């Protein structure tokens, strides 16, 4: 069972399937969806996150790619554009490779090729290794600028706005997501991705340095890179600009 949301949009456009970041429930992408005009958008809480119950056993990105295909079948969508954010970027890449005929275009935001990536700062990665920031709002407020960079370095109001959308589920679900990414890499098959791809990166991203986006854009045959003057969460903190760029690409 999955908790799924469908944001209604133009029937004439190809729907957009959105894969969210680690520990992130549906509501956390609300600012971006509010700014995005056009396509119907499908987003869901992965197992163990938000309102989706956790499975007993660990899963892999390939498992979730298959699960996503089944979801699209149930909803009646033959083909979609795909947007993956941060951890969700791994799922987006896996879906585009594994279910290539179902994915028309691909958008990769603030993400990397996986295990063999250019790492962020060690202090940042250690803070991301636990879900404490989702459970402790004061802690999140104190570290948000350090781990996400960009606009969150100097805007407590943006941090508070972000926290209002958090729907925490369980530590177990968070660690399942961490385990799913362990050892996964798209580097061996990025050159086989057939989709036109937009790679987006924040120039002040302490978690996923922009070098990772350059790697993705250089290895995917039909890809281009766009940088945003913001941090890791630019899709939310620069929602209007991000939505405009993505809409133009999808159109």
Asked whether residue 67 carries a pLDDT value surpassing 90, the answer given is yes
pLDDT for 246 equals: 97
- The answer to whether residue 86 is catalytic is yes
Q: What are phi and psi of 106, to 5 degrees?
A: -130, 135
Q: How does pLDDT run across 186-225, given as a tens digit for each residue?
A: 999 999 999 999 999 999 999 999 999 999 999 999 999 9
Residue 52, both tokens: 């989706």
pLDDT band at 1 (very low <50, low <70, confident <90, very high): confident
Q: Which residues, including other chains, have CB under 8 Å from residue 92's CB and lie 6 or more apart?
A: 19, 82, 83, 84, 106, 107, 108, 111
- Alpha-carbon separation of residue 243 from 29, 31, 126, 180, 231 (angstroms): 11, 10, 31, 28, 16
Of the chain, the percentage scoring pLDDT greater than 90 comes to 82
Is the model's pLDDT at 158 over the cut of 80? no
CA-CA distance, 106 to 152, in Å (whole number)?
A: 27
Which pLDDT score, from 0 to 100, does residue 36 have?
94
pLDDT at 10: 85
Residue 170 has pLDDT above 90, yes or no: no
Indicate whether 15 pLDDT > 90: yes
pTM: 0.95
Alpha helices in the chain (DSSP H): 30-35, 61-75, 87-98, 122-128, 132-135, 137-148, 156-163, 171-181, 210-219, 234-237, 239-250
pLDDT score at 17 = 98
Residue with tokens 């939505």: 243
Rounded average pLDDT over 161-166: 77
Q: Hey, what domains does the chain have and what are their CATH numbers?
A: 3-250 (3.40.50.1820)
Mean pLDDT of the chain: 94
Over range 1-16, report the average pLDDT.
92
**3-state secondary structure (DSSP) of residue 59:** coil
pLDDT band at 159 (very low <50, low <70, confident <90, very high): confident
CA 18 – CA 27 distance, rounded (Å): 12
What is the number of other CB atoms lying within 10 angstroms of the CB of residue 195?
Answer: 19
Average pLDDT of the segment spanning 48-57: 92
Return the pLDDT at 160: 81
pLDDT of 156 > 80? The answer is no
Give how far Cα 53 sits from Cα of 1, 68, 168, 179, 195, Å: 7, 16, 12, 17, 32
Tell me the pLDDT band of 127, cut-offs 50, 70 and 90: very high
Determine which one of 86, 112, 238, 242 is catalytic: 86
Residue 12 pLDDT greater than 90, yes or no: no
């Amino acid at each position: 069972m999955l908790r799924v949301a469908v944001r209604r949009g133009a029937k004439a456009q190809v729907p957009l399937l959105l894969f969210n970041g680690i520990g992130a429930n549906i509501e956390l992408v609300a600012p971006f969806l509010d700014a995005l005009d056009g396509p119907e958008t499908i987003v869901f809480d992965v197992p163990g996150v938000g309102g989706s119950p956790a499975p007993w056993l660990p899963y892999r990105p390939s498992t979730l790619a298959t699960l996503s295909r089944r979801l699209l079948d149930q909803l009646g969508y033959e083909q979609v554009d795909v947007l993956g954010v941060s951890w969700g970027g791994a799922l987006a890449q896996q879906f585009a490779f594994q279910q290539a005929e179902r994915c028309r275009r691909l958008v990769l935001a603030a993400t990397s090729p996986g295990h063999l990536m250019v790492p962020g700062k060690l202090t940042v990665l250690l803070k991301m290794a636990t879900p404490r920031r989702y459970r402790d709002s004061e802690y999140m407020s104190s570290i948000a600028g350090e781990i996400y960079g960009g606009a969150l370095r100097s805007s407590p109001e943006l941090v508070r706005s972000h926290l209002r959308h958090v729907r925490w589920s369980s530590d177990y679900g968070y660690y399942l997501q961490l385990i799913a990414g362990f050892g996964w890499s798209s580097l061996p098959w990025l050159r086989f991705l057939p989709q036109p791809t937009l790679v987006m990166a924040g120039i002040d991203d302490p978690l996923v340095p922009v070098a990772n986006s350059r790697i993705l854009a250089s290895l995917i045959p039909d890809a281009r890179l766009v940088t945003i003057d913001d941090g890791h969460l630019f899709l939310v903190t620069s929602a209007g600009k991000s939505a405009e760029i993505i809409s133009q690409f999808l159109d």
